[in-house]
Protein backbone atom coordinates (compact mmCIF):
# COMPACT_ATOMS: atom_id res chain seq x y z
CA UNK A 1 0.00 0.00 0.00
CA UNK A 2 3.02 2.31 0.25
CA UNK A 3 2.67 5.24 -2.12
CA UNK A 4 -0.86 4.53 -3.34
CA UNK A 5 -3.94 6.75 -3.04
CA UNK A 6 -7.30 5.58 -1.71
CA UNK A 7 -9.87 6.53 -4.31
CA UNK A 8 -13.16 4.79 -3.39
CA UNK A 9 -14.84 2.80 -0.63
CA UNK A 10 -17.25 0.00 -1.57
CA UNK A 11 -19.48 -2.37 0.38
CA UNK A 12 -21.41 -5.54 -0.36
CA UNK A 13 -23.06 -7.13 2.62
CA UNK A 14 -20.45 -7.48 5.36
CA UNK A 15 -17.55 -7.00 2.94
CA UNK A 16 -15.88 -3.59 2.62
CA UNK A 17 -13.10 -2.83 0.20
CA UNK A 18 -11.06 0.24 -0.66
CA UNK A 19 -9.96 0.86 -4.23
CA UNK A 20 -6.68 2.62 -4.93
CA UNK A 21 -5.37 4.77 -7.77
CA UNK A 22 -8.67 4.78 -9.69
CA UNK A 23 -9.00 1.01 -9.59
CA UNK A 24 -5.57 0.26 -11.03
CA UNK A 25 -3.81 -0.32 -7.72
CA UNK A 26 -4.20 -2.97 -5.00
CA UNK A 27 -7.59 -3.48 -3.38
CA UNK A 28 -7.74 -3.44 0.42
CA UNK A 29 -10.46 -5.65 1.89
CA UNK A 30 -11.83 -4.97 5.38
CA UNK A 31 -14.13 -7.15 7.48
CA UNK A 32 -15.36 -5.57 10.72
CA UNK A 33 -16.07 -8.83 12.53
CA UNK A 34 -18.70 -8.43 15.24
CA UNK A 35 -17.58 -5.17 16.82
CA UNK A 36 -14.92 -3.56 14.65
CA UNK A 37 -15.08 -0.04 13.22
CA UNK A 38 -13.05 2.02 10.82
CA UNK A 39 -11.58 5.12 12.45
CA UNK A 40 -10.08 7.98 10.43
CA UNK A 41 -7.90 10.71 11.98
CA UNK A 42 -9.00 9.64 15.46
CA UNK A 43 -5.92 8.32 17.24
CA UNK A 44 -7.19 9.16 20.72
CA UNK A 45 -10.75 10.41 20.56
CA UNK A 46 -14.25 9.04 20.95
CA UNK A 47 -13.58 5.49 22.14
CA UNK A 48 -16.78 3.45 22.19
CA UNK A 49 -15.88 1.01 24.94
CA UNK A 50 -14.27 1.01 28.35
CA UNK A 51 -11.52 -1.24 27.00
CA UNK A 52 -10.49 1.40 24.45
CA UNK A 53 -10.54 4.35 26.82
CA UNK A 54 -7.00 4.02 28.19
CA UNK A 55 -5.12 3.32 24.95
CA UNK A 56 -7.25 3.39 21.78
CA UNK A 57 -4.36 2.31 19.54
CA UNK A 58 -4.00 -0.88 21.54
CA UNK A 59 -7.08 -2.27 19.84
CA UNK A 60 -6.07 -1.44 16.26
CA UNK A 61 -5.91 -4.56 14.13
CA UNK A 62 -4.53 -2.63 11.18
CA UNK A 63 -3.61 0.97 10.38
CA UNK A 64 -2.60 3.11 7.41
CA UNK A 65 -0.70 6.36 7.87
CA UNK A 66 -1.27 9.01 5.21
CA UNK A 67 1.30 11.39 3.78
CA UNK A 68 -0.30 14.33 5.61
CA UNK A 69 -0.05 12.57 8.97
CA UNK A 70 -3.65 11.37 9.11
CA UNK A 71 -4.46 7.79 9.95
CA UNK A 72 -7.02 5.11 9.09
CA UNK A 73 -7.38 2.19 11.48
CA UNK A 74 -9.50 -0.90 11.93
CA UNK A 75 -10.25 -0.73 15.66
CA UNK A 76 -11.61 -3.89 17.22
CA UNK A 77 -11.42 -4.73 20.92
CA UNK A 78 -12.83 -8.20 20.24
CA UNK A 79 -10.07 -8.99 17.73
CA UNK A 80 -12.40 -10.55 15.17
CA UNK A 81 -11.94 -7.96 12.40
CA UNK A 82 -9.50 -8.62 9.59
CA UNK A 83 -7.84 -7.02 6.59
CA UNK A 84 -6.82 -8.67 3.30
CA UNK A 85 -5.13 -7.48 0.15
CA UNK A 86 -7.01 -8.35 -3.05
CA UNK A 87 -9.98 -9.99 -1.27
CA UNK A 88 -11.83 -12.69 -3.19
CA UNK A 89 -15.43 -11.49 -3.56
CA UNK A 90 -16.49 -14.02 -6.20
CA UNK A 91 -18.37 -16.12 -3.66
CA UNK A 92 -20.22 -13.18 -2.10
CA UNK A 93 -23.86 -12.86 -3.10
CA UNK A 94 -25.75 -9.64 -3.87
CA UNK A 95 -26.22 -7.11 -1.08
CA UNK A 96 -29.25 -7.95 1.05
CA UNK A 97 -30.26 -4.31 1.37
CA UNK A 98 -30.16 -3.66 -2.38
CA UNK A 99 -31.27 -6.84 -4.13
CA UNK A 100 -34.36 -6.55 -6.30
CA UNK A 101 -37.62 -8.42 -5.84
CA UNK A 102 -37.24 -10.94 -8.67
CA UNK A 103 -33.63 -11.76 -7.83
CA UNK A 104 -34.51 -12.18 -4.15
CA UNK A 105 -37.28 -14.64 -4.96
CA UNK A 106 -35.01 -16.67 -7.23
CA UNK A 107 -31.99 -16.77 -4.93
CA UNK A 108 -33.75 -17.24 -1.60
CA UNK A 109 -36.93 -19.14 -2.40
CA UNK A 110 -35.54 -22.10 -4.36
CA UNK A 111 -34.18 -24.27 -1.58
CA UNK A 112 -35.29 -26.97 0.81
CA UNK A 113 -33.12 -25.40 3.54
CA UNK A 114 -34.79 -23.46 6.33
CA UNK A 115 -35.47 -19.86 5.44
CA UNK A 116 -33.14 -18.63 8.17
CA UNK A 117 -30.26 -20.79 6.96
CA UNK A 118 -30.92 -19.56 3.44
CA UNK A 119 -30.71 -15.84 4.26
CA UNK A 120 -27.64 -16.43 6.45
CA UNK A 121 -25.78 -17.97 3.50
CA UNK A 122 -23.48 -15.16 2.34
CA UNK A 123 -23.13 -16.72 -1.12
CA UNK A 124 -26.90 -16.42 -1.55
CA UNK A 125 -27.40 -13.03 0.10
CA UNK A 126 -24.65 -10.86 1.55
CA UNK A 127 -25.07 -8.95 4.78
CA UNK A 128 -27.50 -10.88 6.98
CA UNK A 129 -26.10 -12.09 10.30
CA UNK A 130 -27.79 -13.97 13.11
CA UNK A 131 -29.42 -11.04 14.93
CA UNK A 132 -30.52 -9.38 11.70
CA UNK A 133 -32.05 -12.64 10.49
CA UNK A 134 -34.10 -13.03 13.67
CA UNK A 135 -35.16 -9.38 13.48
CA UNK A 136 -36.24 -9.55 9.82
CA UNK A 137 -38.08 -12.85 10.19
CA UNK A 138 -39.91 -11.52 13.24
CA UNK A 139 -40.90 -8.36 11.36
CA UNK A 140 -42.06 -10.45 8.39
CA UNK A 141 -43.91 -12.91 10.71
CA UNK A 142 -42.17 -15.94 9.18
CA UNK A 143 -41.11 -19.03 11.12
CA UNK A 144 -37.30 -19.33 10.76
CA UNK A 145 -37.59 -23.14 10.47
CA UNK A 146 -39.80 -23.13 7.39
CA UNK A 147 -38.24 -24.57 4.24
CA UNK A 148 -37.54 -21.64 1.95
CA UNK A 149 -39.30 -23.25 -1.00
CA UNK A 150 -42.61 -23.32 0.93
CA UNK A 151 -42.79 -19.53 1.06
CA UNK A 152 -45.11 -17.85 -1.41
CA UNK A 153 -43.90 -14.90 -3.48
CA UNK A 154 -45.84 -12.59 -1.15
CA UNK A 155 -43.96 -14.03 1.85
CA UNK A 156 -40.61 -13.56 0.13
CA UNK A 157 -41.50 -10.00 -0.85
CA UNK A 158 -42.45 -9.22 2.74
CA UNK A 159 -39.18 -10.72 3.99
CA UNK A 160 -37.13 -8.72 1.50
CA UNK A 161 -38.78 -5.51 2.69
CA UNK A 162 -38.20 -6.50 6.32
CA UNK A 163 -34.49 -7.14 5.70
CA UNK A 164 -34.12 -3.78 3.96
CA UNK A 165 -35.95 -1.93 6.75
CA UNK A 166 -34.06 -3.74 9.52
CA UNK A 167 -30.75 -2.98 7.82
CA UNK A 168 -31.59 0.72 7.48
CA UNK A 169 -32.60 0.88 11.14
CA UNK A 170 -29.41 -0.89 12.23
CA UNK A 171 -27.25 1.57 10.29
CA UNK A 172 -29.18 4.56 11.63
CA UNK A 173 -29.17 3.39 15.25
CA UNK A 174 -25.63 2.04 15.41
CA UNK A 175 -25.84 -1.72 15.00
CA UNK A 176 -28.04 -4.80 14.77
CA UNK A 177 -28.10 -5.03 18.58
CA UNK A 178 -30.64 -2.17 18.45
CA UNK A 179 -33.26 -4.37 16.75
CA UNK A 180 -36.80 -4.39 18.13
CA UNK A 181 -36.78 -8.11 18.96
CA UNK A 182 -33.21 -8.31 20.28
CA UNK A 183 -34.09 -7.39 23.91
CA UNK A 184 -36.62 -10.23 23.91
CA UNK A 185 -34.26 -13.00 22.71
CA UNK A 186 -33.95 -14.77 26.04
CA UNK A 187 -35.51 -17.31 28.42
CA UNK A 188 -38.87 -16.21 29.75
CA UNK A 189 -39.12 -13.23 27.39
CA UNK A 190 -42.34 -12.52 25.51
CA UNK A 191 -43.09 -11.21 22.05
CA UNK A 192 -43.46 -7.41 22.26
CA UNK A 193 -46.32 -7.53 19.72
CA UNK A 194 -48.61 -10.26 21.03
CA UNK A 195 -47.22 -11.33 24.40
CA UNK A 196 -46.55 -14.99 23.48
CA UNK A 197 -43.51 -16.53 25.14
CA UNK A 198 -40.52 -16.50 22.80
CA UNK A 199 -39.28 -19.87 21.58
CA UNK A 200 -35.66 -20.97 21.11
CA UNK A 201 -33.96 -23.52 18.87
CA UNK A 202 -30.84 -23.96 16.79
CA UNK A 203 -31.60 -23.15 13.15
CA UNK A 204 -28.94 -23.08 10.48
CA UNK A 205 -26.36 -23.77 13.17
CA UNK A 206 -27.25 -20.57 15.04
CA UNK A 207 -29.21 -19.83 18.19
CA UNK A 208 -32.61 -18.61 17.07
CA UNK A 209 -35.55 -16.94 18.82
CA UNK A 210 -39.01 -16.40 17.38
CA UNK A 211 -42.65 -15.86 18.30
CA UNK A 212 -44.52 -19.18 17.92
CA UNK A 213 -47.90 -17.44 17.71
CA UNK A 214 -47.21 -14.90 14.96
CA UNK A 215 -44.34 -16.40 12.98
CA UNK A 216 -45.71 -19.13 10.73
3 state DSSP class of 144: coil
pLDDT for 55 equals 61
pTM: 0.84
Mean pLDDT by 10 residues, the chain (216 residues): 92 91 89 85 51 66 90 88 91 94 97 97 95 98 98 98 96 91 97 98 97 97
* Per-residue exposure over 58-88, b if at least 16 CB sit within 10 Å of its own CB, e if not: ebbbbebeeeeeebbbbbbbeeebbbeeebe
Structural domains of the chain in order of their starting residue, each with its CATH number: 6-85 (3.20.190.10), 101-210 (1.10.8.50)
C-alpha to C-alpha distance for 16 and 30, rounded to whole angstroms? 5
Amino acid sequence: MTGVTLTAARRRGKSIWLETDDGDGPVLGIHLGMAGRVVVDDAAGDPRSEAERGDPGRWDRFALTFADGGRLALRDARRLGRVRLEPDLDGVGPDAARIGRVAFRERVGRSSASIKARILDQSVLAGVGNLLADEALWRARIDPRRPAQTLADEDLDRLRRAIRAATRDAIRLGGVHTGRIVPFRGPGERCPRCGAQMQRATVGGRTTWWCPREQR
